Structure 1
């Protein structure tokens, strides 16, 4: 079935399991004045893929469900309006138990007496396929971040989940599904599937699919494209409805694949602008090739066009066939982690921290040989001549990991740490809430590739009359392309585009990069990506001349020195006036087991923006960000 006459309108109602819960109901309730055809919502991340895998393996012990409970909170109040207005819903809230989520949602729909057809998608659980291919010598499943062979990994896999494309969702909608529940489809796949279904596209329509893919990336993180996590956030405080209640986005996609990003029409804050779209576009990409199981979007020529208030058109996306493989996340039990916090105030912060570390390392020594990690980190610095005691206080975080829970038990970790108080530094004070000092399970996460032909992608339609019609197999893409294992990278801007930073931009003043440069960063396993962009063309000539790989390494400071495996890749996005970096192996071992506080890599950009460089005065005269 195809619809003609207008673009499909797809609402992005959640960007994570930690998002607010009201958006699905809001979109459904406001349908008469602000109609949407499909509501999509993203609930998955590498963190809950790993932790929910542990739940799935522990279900016999009455552990928490391995599907996302927050989705049920968001869906329940919306069901009546979804049925009334014929709105479709597609989500990846199944996480590691999509069938379990289907059972709960089906009972919820039945209890309300609604005529809604619920479908679910499977095929993302692939540990048997990995194990069979490994034992048969078909692949050594190298880690895409480290190059390590799976057989050499120090951990025992308990679960593996691959990223599915959007055509299972499209098939479910074509068969009459009202709600489509998925596990690990890629974040953008619900948008791809919805547009494919609505417009009756074919798998060969790669340009259309690539544009839908980018639209999906722009709205899958909900508020991000409307001003959330945006370095121009100060401009949102007093404009329109302010920043207290940032709204949710809508992607309008035409039959030809043209994309416009907008937002809720009813009273919400935030904004959709070229810069908010640039911010979200630069989030989590790895280079100019952006992969999905259905298509590869080539984004080195992408640019945005402001078409009106809260309306931005996407331009310049090109396409390529999808890769023959799909990404797989393999989970293993990684052991346990515990942490404790101390507060240091006023003078001699560094000296106080050294004293505390020496004392506590001595107290922990009898158990420390069982630790796999023990770190002491000062977080921030105090203000000189601070006006309040709190502003003169700096926390010190102590974090330890061990394979065995007993090695981090109270008498071996948190009790020795608190016992140090009487011999401590001047003003020695620890955090009274010791719950983080008790061991919690952490999960290792290994990322590799699996041929799409090895995936059994299926759609389940339980309302169909016979077993033969209740399951649809989704075949792998008929046309694929094998891409190089590394994205294109250039150490500095091309020679014919180079500028003389000392002469071409006039007088300079030393100050934070972020006075004139926007930034956005995120995590992918142990890697962090970071996009930096500016508002004006002459500023971009300066930015790309400044930001070489060598400069980026220097801006990372001691963090770069502490990561011997760090490698940096760089490419330019002229249409966005941006330079993008991929910092390989910057984030410890990934979100599920990292010992860093920036476990999502979102503050890498904020750190770089705080670093001081020589800034042209004429740019500052335009106003600081």
Structure 2
């Protein structure tokens, strides 16, 4: 499975996983659907590290994504036959253990492969020394050069722990072309390509705002194909997919994914900082979008550290309120439940979702949902003591009393925080198939991450009559979680629409449209090349995904809520 280096031919890097639990058949689909040089998979997320941490507590020899092994059992021989190398961060908290498991699997299957791994990201034993507290997991986001070293040593399969999502793509590209560590523009271009394909089918029509417009036959989205990045020696790329697969690759689908879970115009990675505002997108044929113009800068001097802790115990009850007097019913049951609790939990939160409609023709559409969430360090306080107290009100509360679930015990919840550690404090080790250990040095040149000077806005347009319609008539959006914060990227398709959007959708306007953000810090970042704005909303997700501060704990629907809000849009732009 070795490859000759040819700088005139792009390296074709496919993706077969966007998260732990993604489509199990994707590895086989990618290996049989067309030509590939490298197949990658992203199995890790902030929440996944917590899940793997709890798995490791029960089984110290685990802590990795076991579905990756199931995929390899089916596909390892196929990859060898086709000369496709595999790079994945499925090692999670135990990359050495996963590497051993892959070797054992290959022996069982009678397949000769060399397996290497990358480690050093796990900082848990040194947390106190590094000032990181006492978390359950503590993993620094490593870069791509350990992967490069493993591939250059001849590895057919490379598994890593917590590297950045893009690193599993940057590493194969850098190894293929022989890039140097100061080739910042090239590395940044690969970071952009990696950021687009690391979330799998989100680049090919999944979770896409304009799906009804761009996929009038919705059966085209039944089984979207996974994406491929054809990366060139200069760092530019073409995003595509195997022919005949579902979904589509368009400038819109690529724009949406570029905006996913980013901050400002500088997108920091351990090997280079990508200037997102430098990227230029253009069509390159059917299901082909070119990403060019990427500029890179030295990486920041620190590495981000994913810190997951067990925050305590959590429980919830949801009451169904039907018909008339919804507010009074909610007030009654809230007073009754709080008065009946022998011990008040440390956190007790109520939220009323007015999903009811007047004069509704079904009982469900006549009903609202009242949700009570409790958290406490003591399991008993939020366990049966809480949920049984709620159920005991069944014959003594509002008319039509019902709830959505029986009483149950509280469940452990997690808390995510981000730490930062100087890059030179974090070991980065490539472990070859023969056990040779190679220390990967930190970057020799770094640059503090600073906000860019806001891009110049287009001259305000002179538009005619307006019509009050949802913002989403002309604007797409993609949103997601960044620890306890969330981002919402918003883009439009024409220059006229961009002129209007850039001057209309201010921070104040966003707060007006999304009242939940009114008291939170919000920053706006302008990306003219993408005709896009990115908003970062600090604190809207509380203490991270596992904390479940909102009913949408990962903020995946936040952008679609924004698109649904009505604004006055010039008719000529509709």
TM-score tier, shorter chain, comes to over 0.9
Contact 1:240-1:269 at 8 Å conserved across structures: no
**Which of 480, 495, 502 is 1:537 aligned to?**
495
Question: Cα offset for 1:433?
Answer: 4.8
Contact 2:11-2:232 at 8 Å conserved across structures: yes
Residue 446 of structure 2 is aligned to residue 477 of structure 1: no
Taking structure 1 as reference, are residues 591 and 240 closer, same or farther at Cα in structure 2, changes over 3 Å only? closer
Question: Which runs of 5 or more structure 1 residues have no equivalent in the other structure?
Answer: 135-149, 621-625
Q: Who is 1:2 aligned against?
A: 5
Residue 54 of structure 2 is aligned to residue 54 of structure 1: yes
> 1-side partners of 2:291 and 2:458: how far apart?
26
Contact 1:509-1:614 at 8 Å conserved across structures: yes
> 2-side partners of 1:505 and 1:320: how far apart?
39
Question: Cα offset for 1:164?
Answer: 0.5
Contact 2:210-2:476 at 8 Å conserved across structures: yes
Question: Cα offset for 1:55?
Answer: 3.0
Contact 2:197-2:228 at 8 Å conserved across structures: yes
**Which of 402, 405, 427 is 2:376 aligned to?**
402
Q: Who is 1:19 aligned against?
A: 22
Residue 327 of structure 2 is aligned to residue 350 of structure 1: yes
The 3-state SS of whatever aligns with 1:446 is: strand
**Which of 325, 333, 346 is 1:372 aligned to?**
346
Q: Who is 2:119 aligned against?
A: 122
Q: Who is 1:517 aligned against?
A: 475
Q: Who is 2:460 aligned against?
A: 499
Question: Cα offset for 1:307?
Answer: 1.0
> 2-side partners of 1:297 and 1:602: how far apart?
24
> 2-side partners of 1:582 and 1:480: how far apart?
25
> 1-side partners of 2:277 and 2:156: how far apart?
36
Number of equivalences: 571
Question: Cα offset for 1:239?
Answer: 4.7
Question: Cα offset for 1:123?
Answer: 0.5
| Cα distance per residue 1:278-336 (max 9 Å; x no partner) | 10000011110111111111111322101111000002321101111110022222111
> 2-side partners of 1:594 and 1:255: how far apart?
43
Q: How does 1:405-484 map to 2 (within 5 A)?
A: 405-410=379-384, 412-434=385-407, 437-462=408-433, 464=434, 470-484=436-450
Contact 1:54-1:333 at 8 Å conserved across structures: no
The 3-state SS of whatever aligns with 1:550 is: helix
| Cα distance per residue 1:541-581 (max 9 Å; x no partner) | 11111011111122221x124xx4x2111111111111111
Question: Cα offset for 1:601?
Answer: 1.3
> 1-side partners of 2:119 and 2:298: how far apart?
23
Contact 1:51-1:592 at 8 Å conserved across structures: no
Q: Who is 2:542 aligned against?
A: 588
Contact 1:489-1:570 at 8 Å conserved across structures: no
The 3-state SS of whatever aligns with 1:499 is: coil
Question: Cα offset for 1:58?
Answer: 4.1
Contact 2:517-2:537 at 8 Å conserved across structures: no
Moved over 4 A (4+): none
Question: Which runs of 5 or more structure 2 residues have no equivalent in the other structure?
Answer: none
Question: Cα offset for 1:355?
Answer: 2.3
| Cα distance per residue 1:21-48 (max 9 Å; x no partner) | 1111111223xxx110111111111111
Question: Cα offset for 1:377?
Answer: 1.6
Contact 2:383-2:409 at 8 Å conserved across structures: yes
**Which of 265, 269, 276 is 2:246 aligned to?**
269
Taking structure 1 as reference, are residues 70 and 380 closer, same or farther at Cα in structure 2, changes over 3 Å only? farther
Contact 1:301-1:574 at 8 Å conserved across structures: no
TM-score by length of structure 1 reads 0.87
Q: Who is 1:144 aligned against?
A: none
